Amino acid sequence: MSKINFPESGMDKQTILDNLQAMKSKDLPWQSGKAFAYIYGTDTETMQFSAQAYNMYLTENGLDPSSFPSLLQLETEVIAMLADLMNGGTEACGNLTSGGTESVILAAKTARDFARATRPEVTKPEIIIPETAHPCFQKAAHYLDVAVKIIPVNPETFRADVTAMEAAITNQTILMVGSAPSYAHGVIDPIQALASIAKSKGILFHVDCCVGGMYLPFAEMLGYDIPLFDFRVDGVTSISCDLHKFGYVPKGCSTVLYKNKELRHHQLFSCSNWPGYTIVNPTVTSSKSGGPMAGAWSMFKLWGKEGYKNAVKACQEATDTFIEGLKSIPELELLGRPDMSLLSFKSVNEDVSVFQLIDNMNKRGWHLQLQLASHTSQEAVHLTITHFNTKHIAELIEDLKIVVLELKAKRHPSNIMMMGLDASMIQLLMDEFTPDMLDNLEALLGMDMSANGLPDDMVTINSLLNSLKPEHRDVLLTAFVNRMYTSPK
């Protein structure tokens, strides 16, 4: 680890800000509207407004609502407005969290503790998820020491397989999950069928609306054909919904909602057997900024249903335009039929590698997201189309056409073995892999990433990862990231 000394004395403010600006210049230039992942953007004025509201509450601490009653008011009002959107009636309740992952961890913890309180037969709790469920469910299970059963989805539609999910239920099952929609393919799972099974078996059912919660209700109001996914569905007991995605609230803002507060009771943690201040935490974090609460409240008030409907309409139309455009590129094919503005496509031409396609698109100023091959999907390219991306779709299709032609002319192989690397050697190495072998692997690949982080050209690494079994990918990525966070450049 390279050593950086703590500064002896202070620096002037402008130099510090200039340094930050210089560092930032290496980041994804998302302001162009050409990044189709990570950033949920709308018009600059609106983004500045929500940041202004956020900054007003940067320092206030949600840890103690009796000292900051306005934070309690902001949070309960945001939750009430959202519960209205999710048709939760007067019983629904919930909390603001730092992100979708925290919301899901809390929903899983609530299910675990609800089972502990009400089902003494459950000694080895397990949750059942479709393989398309976001990894935060596996993370929740990992953190909470709960088992997870991952059920393959329908390989054509990428929706959860209801029969297989039902068959997986045992007397240890505490929670079943469906996504509305799934991140990878943007498709809504059969929520009604799944929730009805869960209810009949006496288990809880969580709908992951992290990405869809601030979108689908407005799409429905606009007349789009959206199957029921919220508290109107009998059997749905909790819902997660991120506001820092299609709510266009600055990051650090998600929600978890419950059908009633008897359930939510199991989410809370209280501790008064220490000498410091008494703690009663509804969520994972204890001290928390009021910024996200004020940001969310202000965005809801600024836009109302009208504003969100306008944004959703633009995204729906842009998605249709993109899907139409994709049909004119025979080398690429849409995966499934997305229900909203998230989608992925694969290559159906062996000379067109999606790894190379993503790199070449990158050189043209686009950021598209890679999805490695999984059980039911081959490697694919993902796009999340948010409000500020909608103006760039025609140009995106034009550049995709150009890049596909470039790749066909050069006949870029997508297979790791065809890249002149010894695949069996790599597989062997991975079977015995320990973190200190990272350097050997890099030598084998002809690259050294220890000093400079990731190369501009990600094709080799992505192809390698894609060729490995998921458990090997995880071992390798963990070793890599563990090293990455210890060596400042």
Ligand X SMILES: *Cc1c(COP(=O)(O)O)cnc(C)c1O
> Which residue ranges make up the site for ligand X (CB under 6 A)?
99-101, 134, 136, 179, 183, 208, 210-211, 242, 254
459's tokens: 């094709």
Shortest Cβ distance from residue 254 to ligand X (Å)?
Answer: 6
3-state secondary structure 25-40: CCCCCHHHCCECCCCC
Pick 246 or 433: Cβ nearer ligand X:
246
d(CA 210, CA 22): 33
C-alpha distances in Å from residue 48, one per residue of 148, 263, 287: 41, 37, 25
Pick 38 or 269: Cβ nearer ligand X:
38
Pick 28 or 425: Cβ nearer ligand X:
28
Shortest Cβ distance from residue 256 to ligand X (Å)?
Answer: 11
Pick 181 or 459: Cβ nearer ligand X:
181
d(CA 110, CA 295): 27
Shortest Cβ distance from residue 370 to ligand X (Å)?
Answer: 16
The helix (run of H) or strand (run of E) holding residue 309 is: helix 291-327
Pick 79 or 352: Cβ nearer ligand X:
79
Pick 60 or 242: Cβ nearer ligand X:
242
Pick 105 or 396: Cβ nearer ligand X:
105
**Closest residue to ligand X in the complex (CB):** 100
d(CA 234, CA 195): 7
Closest CA to 335 of 182, 227, 225, 463: 182
Pick 173 or 255: Cβ nearer ligand X:
255
Residue at token pair 């190379």: 356
Sign of CA dihedral 18, 20, 26, 32: negative
Q: At how many degrees (to 10) do helices 470-484 and 423-431 cross?
A: 80
Q: 257: which DSSP letter? A: E
Contact 146, 108 (CB under 8 A): yes
Residue 38 φ then ψ, to 5°: 75, -35
Shortest Cβ distance from residue 179 to ligand X (Å)?
Answer: 5
Shortest Cβ distance from residue 449 to ligand X (Å)?
Answer: 25
- DSSP letters, 46-60, are HHHHHHHHHHHTSS-
Residue 372 φ then ψ, to 5°: -65, 160
Contact 180, 342 (CB under 8 A): no
Shortest Cβ distance from residue 456 to ligand X (Å)?
Answer: 26
Pick 99 or 247: Cβ nearer ligand X:
99
Strand ranges of the sheet holding 380-384, from the earlier edge strand across to the other edge:
332-334, 342-347, 380-384, 369-371
